[in-house]
Amino acid sequence: MWERILTYEIQPEDAGRTVAEYLRSRGFSRHLLIRLKTMPDGITLDGVPVLPSHRFFFDRVKALLTIRLREEEASEHIAPVPLPLTIVYEDEDLLVLDKPPDMPIHPSMGNYENTLANALAYYYEQQERPFIFRCINRLDRDTSGLLIVAKNAYSSVVLSAQMKERHIHREYLAVVQGLAPERGTIDAPIGRQPGSVIARCVDPVSGEPAITHYSRVAASPDGTYSLMRIHLDTAAPTRSGYTWGISAIPCPGISSTVPTTGILGGSPFTPTGCPSPIPSPGRR
Residue 45: Cβ within 10 Å count:
16
CB 148 within 8 A of CB 90: no
What SS3 state is found at 68? strand
What SS3 state is found at 129? coil
41 a catalytic residue: no
Q: Number of C-alpha atoms within 13 angstroms, CB side, residue 88?
A: 22
Identify which of 95, 92, 90 has the alpha carbon closest to the alpha carbon of residue 148: 95
The distance in angstroms from the start CA to the end CA of the chain is: 39
- Taking the C-alpha atoms of residue 274 and residue 260, their distance in angstroms, rounded to an integer, is 12
Query: 41, 140, 142, 222: which is the annotated catalytic residue?
Result: 140
DSSP character for 208?
A: B
Which residues belong to the active site?
Answer: 140
